Amino acid sequence: MSVTIKDIAKLANVSHTTVSRALNDSPLINPETKEKIRLLAAQLQYTPNYNAKSLVLDRSYNLGLFFSTLHTGTSAVFLYEAIKGVNDVIQDRYNLIVRGIDDYTSFHKVNRKSYDGIIVMSQSEADQPFIEYAAEREIPLIVLNRQIENVQVMNMVPDDKRGAYLVVEYLISQGHRQIAIIEGKENFKSTQARREGYREAMEFYQVPLCVDYSQPGNYDLESGYAAMTRLLQLNPRPTAVFCCNDDMALGAIKAITEKQLIVPQDISIVGFDDHIYSGFMTPALTTVRRPMEQISREGAAKLLSFIETKKVEKETIFFHTELVIRDSVTNISGGL
Amino acid sequence: MSVTIKDIAKLANVSHTTVSRALNDSPLINPETKEKIRLLAAQLQYTPNYNAKSLVLDRSYNLGLFFSTLHTGTSAVFLYEAIKGVNDVIQDRYNLIVRGIDDYTSFHKVNRKSYDGIIVMSQSEADQPFIEYAAEREIPLIVLNRQIENVQVMNMVPDDKRGAYLVVEYLISQGHRQIAIIEGKENFKSTQARREGYREAMEFYQVPLCVDYSQPGNYDLESGYAAMTRLLQLNPRPTAVFCCNDDMALGAIKAITEKQLIVPQDISIVGFDDHIYSGFMTPALTTVRRPMEQISREGAAKLLSFIETKKVEKETIFFHTELVIRDSVTNISGGL
DNA sequence: CATAATGATGCACACGTTAACAACGAACTT
DNA sequence: AAGTTCGTTGTTAACGTGTGCATCATTATG
């Protein structure tokens, strides 16, 4: 069996309380005793039982990182950047538990005792019950990526709508008028925000909308390919396509290339997210930078401060999205 | 405060023992009492304190998924496929704790009490101390992806060497003789295995090796770009390049395209891994399929069976890698 | 009818840790 | 010299749950 503070206590001829205090660096203990006990603990390779600690201290040392789903709609890069950002902040002070919300049959195991804090990387309104559940139980909580309306909660989100506006505005500035959109996964909040940005830009510059130019997608590569294939059959076909994320843009480019057409000469493509891969595509993708790693890093830092200070703030913070111009758009305004 | 079995006991006029047994579906309890208690528990929204359970049952309900690092050398897709594979198997029976081994300052927190089992997604020999630490403490353990020699442990790995052999053999069959290699991260086992596969194929078909055609890389996009840039300055430059993973292949293609050259007409490129992105690149990448999601799924299943049956097997299982032919290689054998 | 077997429940302790309070000797105060 | 303070250590209970054993009522057995 493993060694406990009582074992150490026996060998040191002190009570287990003294051992506990020595190992927790309590000022009550004589420095010499402290040193003796620590040496002993090291020799015996003592490791504390965190379950016992947790029980009495009412802290779990666990942080939850929850995604809407780990199955479809969560891109590899999104997951990667989120985990990396959070992990950079917490280092080895907490355990990071990763899970898809839709894997839960019941939220049974989600409570204050099991999680010191929770980060929800939210994409869909389907997360709402989960968020409310956690909020009701007063678990320190941060919701990232998706803007929340009803619940009072700390919320950090990229300005998707503005980003979409910017990139569509850019297409218009390059002379495009037949601008299609390949949309994200239905009932994802980001889908809606990006669609709104697209429409507002079109309206502001008085570019007519065409229903056929609006194609559904679900954020993955295949759906971008399929949607673009449909767009290519239209007459007249669009001169530019706004893909609601970079994965779908990649799928769209493939569909175009297979038809012996060239991006951007024949059709211009823009994406959204600015993946680590986006700058390396052929052609390099013009897109919108959404600082997910930064958001998750700052979200994690905020969460830790909530836990440590026991004060929670509740506000919505927007992170700027910015246009990244590369090589996937051509100017067709004819000289201007 | 949260409700405990003692609270339920009071309300039901029974002892907490009875409540405990009722909720654990013990056959000792009268069905009616059982039903009454369960109803009460549901009404009070009782959730067990898993720390207390863990303490007395000596189970943590935690599974660790450890990567060599989360910083550099672990591609987004690799992380994604591993998490997805494992998560699919464990569902909500366990908590999945994700961490980079190099984040640990000490392995203090890694022990039987904290982890019911551990999956190491190993890439580097630097993981060796960690693996041995876990093995010594008799934590149910599975090591995936990298072949382990010294320690007796359950080991599941893709056949990297054979995969590399196959893809280089394919290049040779297409008439290539000036075949370069962009290598993976130094001291990653996979780097070594893929290099060996390359060399064996070259030797078997008696294609001369050229030292300049061997360029270092570290598995990320930028290093592929940089290595390819160096290769392009050589005279004669290679007609084909084996990039040790798909990310570097993408970087290499960018370097080539920027020099106004075309893949595969001017230079053929092959990769390794078969990312979800690889088929969607321009051109679609010829590569080697390494079934990471399958490996992590089967690894997780094996680990669960170890935990449940308390029997551990120790063997090395190889998973077949296979050639995936797409459009990034041209035949230069001149008609044959 | 006395006794044994059975079914259902409670008592008391254990898991490993922390913390409030008590205890005790030594040093300091007046 | 008696009382007070301080520094150090020990005693004991607590956190919430599970389990071996004892207990008690009820039913079956002879």
The predicted-structure confidence for B250-308, as pLDDT tens digits, reads as follows 999 999 999 999 999 999 999 999 988 899 998 999 999 999 999 999 999 999 999 98
Angle at B144 between CA B223 and CA B65, to 5 degrees: 90
DSSP result, B123-135: -BGGGHHHHHHHH
Predicted local confidence at residue B319, as pLDDT: 96
A236 upstream amide cis, omega within 30 of 0? yes
Alpha-carbon distance A104 to nearest alpha carbon in chain B (angstroms):
6
Kindly calculate the radius of gyration of chain B based on its CA atoms and give it in whole angstroms: 26
B99 inside 8 A of chain A by CB? yes
Minimal CA–CA distance to A158: which of A306, A250, A284, A274? Answer: A274
**Rounded to whole angstroms, how far apart are CA atoms A263 and A66?**
37
- Quick one: B31 and B83 in the same domain? no
- Quick one: A127 and A69 in the same domain? yes
Q: Which positions in strand C are less than 7 Å from the protein's CB atoms? A: 7-12, 14-20
Burial class of A61 by CB neighbour count within 10 A (0 to 12, 13 to 18, 19+):
middle
Q: Which residues of A touch B245 (CB under 8 A)?
A: none
Q: Across chain B, what does the average pLDDT equal?
A: 93
Q: Which residue of A has its CA nearest to B327?
A: A258
The answer to the question of residue B331 being in a domain is no
Q: Which residues of A touch B99 (CB under 8 A)?
A: 87, 92, 95-96
Residues A245-266: pLDDT tens digits? 999 999 999 999 999 999 999 9
The answer to the question of residue B54 being in a domain is no
A44 inside 8 A of chain B by CB? no
B250 inside 8 A of chain A by CB? yes
The answer to the question of residue A56 being in a domain is no
**Which residue range(s) make up the domain with B40?**
5-48
The answer to the question of residue A336 being in a domain is no
B8 nearest nt, CA–C1': D16
- Quick one: B242 and B281 in the same domain? yes
Q: Which residues of A touch B221 (CB under 8 A)?
A: 276-277, 280
Q: What share of chain A in percent tops pLDDT 70?
A: 99
Predicted local confidence at residue B105, as pLDDT: 84
Taking residue B108's Cβ as centre, other Cβ atoms within 10 Å add up to 14
* Whether residue B24 has pLDDT greater than 90: yes
- Quick one: A207 and A261 in the same domain? yes
Amino acid of residue A326? R
* Whether residue B336 has pLDDT greater than 60: no
- Quick one: A89 and A123 in the same domain? yes
Query: Among residues 113-172 of chain A, which lie with CB inside 8 Å of chain B?
Result: 113-114
Strand, helix or coil at A114? coil
Predicted local confidence at residue A335, as pLDDT: 53
Structure-token pair, residue B34:
């059982």
Q: What is the mean pLDDT of residues B95-111?
A: 91
The answer to the question of residue B44 being in a domain is yes
Burial class of A28 by CB neighbour count within 10 A (0 to 12, 13 to 18, 19+):
exposed
Cβ atoms of A112 and A177 within 8 Å: the answer is no
- Quick one: B243 and B131 in the same domain? no
Residues A257-299: pLDDT tens digits? 999 999 999 999 999 999 888 999 989 999 999 999 999 999 9
* Whether residue A149 has pLDDT greater than 90: no
Predicted local confidence at residue B75, as pLDDT: 86
Taking residue A207's Cβ as centre, other Cβ atoms within 10 Å add up to 16
Predicted local confidence at residue A288, as pLDDT: 97
- Quick one: A198 and A301 in the same domain? no
Structure-token pair, residue A256:
């175009």
Q: What is the mean pLDDT of residues B189-216?
A: 96
- Quick one: B178 and B279 in the same domain? yes
Structure-token pair, residue A102:
């839709």
The answer to the question of residue B327 being in a domain is no
Length of chain A: 336
Q: What is the mean pLDDT of residues A49-70?
A: 95
Alpha-carbon distance A12 to nearest alpha carbon in chain B (angstroms):
22
Q: Across chain A, what does the average pLDDT equal?
A: 93
What residues have CB less than 8 Å from B193, skipping those under 6 apart?
A: B147, B160, B161, B164
Question: Is there a contact between B109 and A60 if contact means CB atoms under 8 Å apart?
Answer: no
Alpha-carbon distance A200 to nearest alpha carbon in chain B (angstroms):
31
Predicted local confidence at residue B335, as pLDDT: 53
Q: What is the mean pLDDT of residues B150-161?
A: 91
Handedness of CA A246, A252, A258, A261 (dihedral sign): negative
Predicted local confidence at residue A77, as pLDDT: 87
Q: What domain count does chain A have?
A: 3
Among A256, A277, A296, the strongest candidate for a mutation testing the B interface, having the largest count of B CBs within 10 A, is: A277
Residues B30-85: pLDDT tens digits? 999 999 999 999 999 999 999 999 999 999 999 999 999 998 778 888 999 999 99
Task: Enumerate long-range contacts of A89-92, CB under 8 Å, 24 or more apart.
Answer: A89/A297, A89/A300, A89/A301, A89/A304, A90/A63, A90/A300, A90/A304, A91/B103, A92/B99, A92/B103, A92/B104, A92/B105, A92/B109
The answer to the question of residue A332 being in a domain is no
Residues A101-132: pLDDT tens digits? 998 888 888 999 999 999 999 988 889 999 99
- Quick one: A148 and A166 in the same domain? no
- Quick one: A165 and A277 in the same domain? yes
Cβ atoms of B331 and B174 within 8 Å: the answer is yes
Residues A153-178: pLDDT tens digits? 999 999 999 999 999 999 999 999 99
Among A83, A250, A254, the strongest candidate for a mutation testing the B interface, having the largest count of B CBs within 10 A, is: A83
- Quick one: B39 and B73 in the same domain? no
| CATH number of the domain enclosing B43 | 1.10.260.40
The answer to the question of residue B334 being in a domain is no
Using CA atoms of A3, A60, A66, B92 in order, give the dihedral in degrees to the nearest 10. 60
**Rounded to whole angstroms, how far apart are CA atoms A48 and A54?**
11
Alpha-carbon distance B205 to nearest alpha carbon in chain A (angstroms):
34
- Quick one: B143 and B263 in the same domain? no
Q: What is the mean pLDDT of residues B298-321?
A: 93
| CATH number of the domain enclosing A170 | 3.40.50.2300
**Rounded to whole angstroms, how far apart are CA atoms A275 and A288?**
9
Predicted local confidence at residue B67, as pLDDT: 96
